[in-house]
Structure formats: structure tokens, C-alpha cells
Structure 1
Amino acid sequence: MKMNILMIEDNESVSEMMQMFFLNEGWEATFKYDGKEGLDTFLANPHFWDLITLDLNLPSMDGMIVAREIRKVSKTVPIIMLTARDSESDQVIGLEMGADDYVTKPFSPLTLIARIKALHRRMELVEKEGKVQEASDQEFDIETQFLKVNTKTREAYLNGKLIEGLTPKEFDLLYTLAKKPRQVFSREQLLELVWDYQYFGDERTVDAHIKKLRQKIEKVGPQVIQTVWGVGYKFDDSGVA
């Protein structure tokens, strides 16, 4: 598995440590120690990068802003945010800005490698499904009474209106839930199905993504992602008028 990774990290010792692990995996990595410099490197060739690791605290440009600017250009490039902050609000904001995952410092290099592999596997699966699909834009992989989902175009429509701005993880969450209407999924199940790995008990990332997904759904119609208290979440559009 060959990868081109852009690591935007102002701590040179962390970068040097990760370089050894990247080389061991056979991955090519470019290191930038400044937020604006890292963003400019990405913008110079957006399609070159397979994954970005992004520190939250960076000189010249905060990691939150860098993530937001990257997402304006690419909705799909995987972003893992590295942060020394351990508050839920910072992690949620990072996810809302477009990060697919976060790792809290100090972290084990093997943990970061596992997260990278999981994200990359997920993206490869999405691309493979897109190539296999020969359907036209008018054909859908999921079609309930009110929701239509096309995995080839990665678009979802509620009541005929496009749910705009879905990030890769938000789309995957909606697709996973909508494939089995009214089935309740625990947070642990969603972590395994959508993120393809265990979060070792940290389920807040699911809640953060569900929150943003709901906000985007509510812009076009009624809420179809329901909370089952004490259990998890389900898709149910039976109450849509």
C-alpha cells in the first residue's frame, strides 16, 4: 500500500519519529512545520496527497483554519487532526472543520499508523464501489420513500432536495444507517462499520459527526436520524410528511 502523506506538524521531533514509521510502511511523507506553508503545499497539488495529518496548534495559521481551507478544495482527502488539547469542544470543532479523525497527543506512533491504514482502507473501498457502479445519475443504491442515496456520485437527497456539503464520514454514516432503516446501531457498531477500527471506548467522534449530519439534513427537510437513548442511533423516515 503506497501512500503520499502530508504531515503538517510544528514539532520536529514528532515529525522525525513518524518519518521512521512511515518509511517502515513504505509510505512517502512530506513534512511542513508551519500552517500556511502546509496549506500552500497542499494547494499546489491537491490530487497528489492520499492523506493529511494536521496539528491543531501551528504557527502562522491555526490547524482549524487549514482544515477548513483544505475542505474548500477537496471534500474527500482524509484528514487526521493531531491535538494536544483534550477537551471535547476542541475535538468536536476539529471534526466540524472537516477532519475525519483526531489523535490526542501524546500518542503512540503505532496508533497513528493504525488510524491512517483504517482511513485509507475506507477510501479505497469507496473508490472501488464507485468504479463498480455503472448506474446513471438517476439510479440510486438506497431509495426509501423520502431518501435517495447514490454511492457513485456520493450524493443524498431528502424529499428531492440535495443534502449539501456532506463530508466523507457524514455520507458514510448516513449510508450505513439508511441501508437498514429503523435498525438501531450502537456507537461501537458505527465506529467499526464507518471508521473500520476501535476507538478504545472513545465514542464522542460518532456524536460529533451525527450532530453535523443532522444540521445538514435539517436544511432540506425533517430529521431522519433518530437517537435511541442509551443505545445509539437509527435512520427512520417513516414520520416524514
Structure 2
Amino acid sequence: LGFLEGSDPKLKKEVLVVTGHYDHIGLTTSGEDKVNNGADDDGSGTTGVLMLAEAFAKAKKAGNGPKRSILFMTVVGEEKGLLGSEWYSEHPVFPLENTITNLNIDMIGRGDKDHASDNNFVYIIGSDMLSSDLDKIGKKANKDYVNINLDERYNNRTDPNRFYYRSDHYNFAKHGIPVIFYFNGVHPEYHMPGDEISKIDFPMLAKRAQLVYFTAWELANGLKRPVVDKNDDGTPKK
């Protein structure tokens, strides 16, 4: 855990959580190369979390830190059932009611077959599931600062791939905390030894990390936290 305290006396009790998972699936039993490296899944996301932590720390040192606090968290056990983030959501360091959003970075260093000639895209999942406020903030940050193509084809609770339920953001969403999941899709080396650092597209990784950074910046400095939408019966969405 890396904690950056906010600068505003009132708003600093509110916490933005940025996550990525640093575990992978270990060794395989067949083939000459038995090491599943996990460079994209999720070395890229872990790198993204560290990049954001460094950038925000430098901003604070320069006297321009965020008003709200930010928790940078790399979790373990994602590949075994989102265990690390589940543990945190059940034993939070900071109260969940003060957690304004989770930005989850899981695989941002590659492309997929549907974007073979496009190195300017990222899938976003969940941004409008609980909070239309968050969806607007994230998309405005992209338009104002990054201008990357946002692919939302998997942004559906009933998508057969079930990506919304398959990464650490879900353990925040199920507690009613707004989330955005940043993802590059699957590729032939997904969960294979071939997921190596030599195949990482570093400029694309950096641009996606910039999108998360600017979204985090807007969330940490906005006048109000994202409002959770209501169901038809008036209860908060989950």
C-alpha cells in the first residue's frame, strides 16, 4: 500500500483507490518454457500503479498535490479469485464509505486481435455501472488530455466474457463503490509463457497510464465525489 494524503483539510478523509495485481499463474507443466511471465497480466498494470504513485508524489512535493487522498494498492491472489482485493474490501484500511472510486489497471501493455492495427485504444468497463458522474468525469478527462479511443464493447453485466466480474475492481463495485476497469483485451499469449516483456508496447502502456492519471487527478480534485446512481426503488446501485 502506498498512501498519499490529500491537501484539503476537509476532503482528505475521502480516498481514491488505484489498483493493479502483481500475482500471475506460476509455472506450466508442458513445453520447453514453463514460466508464465505475466508481463502484460499484470506486470503492465502494476507498472501503471507505480507510475501514477510517482507522478502524484512529485506533484505533492512541488506543492501541487491532490485535495483528496489516494491509496495506491497492488494486490495478490487476483488469479485465484480476486482474493487480495476481496480481503481489502472486507478489512479496509480506510472506511469504504469514504472511498470515492476504484480505478483498476489490469493489462494495459498489449493489444488484441480486434485492434491489430490500432495502438490508440483501451477497453473501459464499469464506468457507468454505478455512477453516471464517474462515467462523465472519465470521458471528459480523456477528451481534454489524452484522446485515446475508449472501447466499451465489454461494458455489460451480461457480456459472456464476464470481464466486469473478473478483476479486482469488482470487490469495490459489489460494495457500491464506483469503478473503472482499464484493460487491453486478451491476446494469444494470455496466461501463456509467451506473455513476455519483449511484447509490451511501452508507448501504448504509457498513454493508457496517462488516461488513468488524468482521471484520478480530476477525481481527487473535483468539487464533489462521484454520486452513486439510484435504482428505481431509490436504493443505491451495486
- TM-score under structure 1 normalisation? 0.36
Tell which structure's C-alpha radius of gyration is larger: 1
